[in-house]
Amino acid sequence: MSAEGALDLTQAHDGGVYFVDAADFDALAAAAEEGNLYVCRADLAGCHDKSDLLRRMAMALKLPAGFGHNWDALVDSLRDLGWLHGIGHALLLDHASDLRQAAAKDFDTLLGILHESASFAIDQNRPFFAFLSLPEHPISLPTHR
């Protein structure tokens, strides 16, 4: 995506958590790959609780077998994704509304962790984006010319 006004995911200060339509995932993944970000995809369809979420996140992030499967372990892992190559990271979490409907508290905790991880990455000048498919609440990303 090198056209003028194309989505630029290399800017660490633009990092954060964004609600998008799942139809945008391919374009977001392409923009991330063009910017040399490592793309992690997790499908949360039917995800019903913290345990299921952490299992799916561990698979998507290729976490080591010793991953603790708790919130603190997820925070620690998202702060240091060095085993995944790239100048930064883009997480694409599809069907996030399934988790939100089944376990609102776990969904809120995940959002807090993702926001904290993005802030930490910004402080490290490392791009970190989390895209959750929640089409009823899309947020526009900045484009750079």
The CATH number of whichever domain residue 58 belongs to comes to 3.30.370.10
- pLDDT for residue 80: 83
CA atoms in the 13 A half-sphere facing the CB of 94: 13
Residue 114 in domain: yes
pLDDT tens string 14-58: 999 999 998 999 999 999 999 999 999 999 999 999 999 999 999
Residue 69 identity: H
Bridge partners for 41 per DSSP:
92
Residue 117 in domain: yes
Q: Which of 102, 85, 93 is nearest to 50 (CA)?
A: 102
**Domain enclosing residue 61, as ranges:** 17-133
Tell me how far apart the alpha carbons of residues 64 and 82 are, in angstroms, rounded to a whole number: 12
pTM of the model: 0.87
* Averaged confidence pLDDT in the chain: 87
Residue 70 in domain: yes
Residue 65 in domain: yes
Residue 4 in domain: no
Residue 138 in domain: no
Domain count within the chain:
1
pLDDT tens string 49-82: 999 999 999 999 888 888 899 999 999 989 887 7
